[in-house]
Amino acid sequence: MFEIIMPIPEITTPKINEYIEIRMQTKAANATINRELSASKRLLNLGRNQSPPLVERTPYIPMLKENNARKGFFEHGEYLALKDALPEYLKDFVTFAYKTGWRLSEISKLTWSQIDRKQGIVRLEVGETKNDEARTIYMDSELTAIMEARWSNRRNLLPFFFLNRYENDRVKRFDKAWKKACKDDKIGLRHFHDFRRTAVRNMVRSGVPERVAMMISGHKIRSVFDRYNIVNDADLKLATARQEKYLNSLAGTISGTIADFNEKKRARNNS
């Protein structure tokens, strides 16, 4: 934790700019610096809002421009290769991530009490998600098969749906196994969070309305969802092909309409 001790009355915008310069010299990312500045701003505002005020004034605190949006995602073949290279206990885990786009912590903490086997529903309650909103998904045939297999092979009374290698606790960290799988399947080091972006893109590509996709993946802010809905060259080519097909259909419709009009005109002239 990087910190500079300074009496509150001495905290001014120039001093804050000096702090930013020092942090940038230490190679801290803009996002990291912004989080630190936000925490300082929050503390100052809390002090000012006390009665009587503990802070007389809140100086202007500039924020830095952030550009941390990663653009990694898995093509389907890459996902299958990674899944094949992972230990057995993680295969279902990454399948769930690939299909739903849920965060690692949400999947890791998933319990049987959140699963309705009869209806094929998985539910996160308020307080169990990052944005504090409840979320429900219906499992497809593959996830349903995973659920039934895990229920049939359940060997203990642990509440968690995904268990670790030793089946004595939930899946938590698996950095070593993840890095080894990325190396073995020759796709290069990826981030687990790439599944989140991938699921969003796959849902939108398959025709799922964006609002529904946001409800499944748990995106509350549209700008974040748009950042995850990644467009690549294949998407651009597909857009061109679809537009061409649409315009050709219009041209065919117009040609047919003109032909019908000319035919009716000739019929009137001959009558």
Mean pLDDT of the region 19-25 = 89
- The pLDDT tens digits for 223-242 are 656 665 555 566 656 656 76
- Under the banding of pLDDT at 50, 70 and 90, the label for residue 207 is confident
Confidence band, pLDDT 50/70/90 cuts, at residue 165: very high
Q: How far is CA 250 from the centre of its chain?
A: 37
- For residue 120, how many C-alpha atoms fall within 13 Å in the half-sphere facing its CB? 9
32-88 tens-digit pLDDT: 888 888 888 888 888 888 888 888 888 899 888 876 555 688 989 999 999 999 999
d(CA 100, CA 15): 45
Q: Which residue has the tokens 């041209």?
A: 251
Is the pLDDT assigned to residue 138 strictly greater than 70? yes
Which of 3-7, 67-71, 186-190, 200-204 holds the top average pLDDT?
186-190
Residue 135 host element (H or E): strand 135-138
Asked which of 7-11, 21-25, 151-155, 244-248 is least confident by mean pLDDT, the reply is 244-248
CA-nearest of 33, 14, 12, 34 to 24 is: 33
Q: What region does 167 belong to: left with phi over 0, alpha with psi -120 to 50, or beta?
A: left
Tell me: pLDDT of 131 over 70. Answer: no
Q: What is the DSSP string of 42-86?
A: HHHHHHHTSSS-S-S-------------------HHHHHHHHHHS
Q: Which residue has the higher pLDDT, 125 or 61?
A: 61
Across 19-33, 73-87, 204-218, 255-269, least confident range: 255-269
Residue 164 is predicted with a pLDDT of 96
| CATH 1.10.443.10 given to domain 76-228 | yes
Strand partners, 138: 121
